[in-house]
Amino acid sequence: MLDSASMDGISNAEGQEARWRKALKVGRIRQRVVEARITDPGQPAAELPRSISDSDRLAGDSAGPQHRPFLGERFEGGPESVVRCHDCAWAQVVDEDLHEDDVAGLFAWHVALPAEAVDHLLLFNVPLAIPYYIRWEDNNGLLALRDERTGGYHLRFNHECLAIFNSIAADGTLDGAIATEARRLGIARRPAMNDIVFIASDLYRKGLLRPASEPKVASPSRSDRSSSLRD
């Protein structure tokens, strides 16, 4: 089973420290949101949050109007929900295993870092990237995933998911995954591409992949980089 200790062995991308610092900050903000909800008797604890309430707005620590994310429609009429924002184009599908137990974590992340918003329901283009809030590793041939926004983790039980993450980590494209899939199944490139693009689309819709262009965020200063990730 995936746990915090095993995920600490991951070092698969440049800029990991910077992204981790940001993820940790989001985690702290999320904790404050959870605490605010617990201490607010007006908020039914067992109910899935419909939106960020006024009491939760202390989560934002930047100037400017607050974003108001909310739980939207079912995706294509299926069992999965979509989260959206009243104030920007942010949208993604809620993954049953990674997000459903903590939709408030997704909301808090978006309120804290609205500039990183992507409409994940649009068709994707390459190059793609693995978001900084996603930690992943090869767990005996399966893709082990953790989304730091919610703390959810999951093993993806198909070979294609791991091939896709390896491919995108290498060069931002799906070419490597398509070649791997064609070789593994002994099929031509075209049907292999159909499989890979279909599965990559699902990962993208759930915010587990993102466009490769990095959002504009401030880099941590040198003096802020003293402690190790593994402290």
Distance in Å, CB of 228 to Zn ion, minimum = 33
Selected binder of Zn ion within 80, 87, 96, 100 (CB under 5 A): 87
> Does residue 175 belong to the site contacting Zn ion (CB under 5 A)?
no
Q: Which residue has the tokens 């590793």?
A: 137
Q: Is 212 in the site for Zn ion (CB under 5 A)?
A: no
One-letter amino acid of 199: I
Among 23, 52, 59, 85, binds Zn ion (CB under 5 A): 85
Distance CA 200, CA 116 (A): 20
Q: Are the C-beta atoms of residues 23 and 150 closer than 8 Å to each other?
A: no
Q: Which phi and psi (to 5°) does residue 51 adopt?
A: -165, 170
138 bridge partner residues: 143
Q: Are strands 134-139 and 142-147 parallel, antiparallel or unpaired?
A: antiparallel
If binding is defined by CB under 5 A, does position 67 make contact with Zn ion? yes
Q: Which is nearer to Zn ion, 114 or 152 (CB)?
A: 114
Smallest gap from Cβ 80 to Zn ion, in A, equals 20
* Residue nearer to Zn ion on the CB measure, 114 or 131: 114
Residues that bind Zn ion (CB under 5 A): 67, 85, 87-88, 90, 114
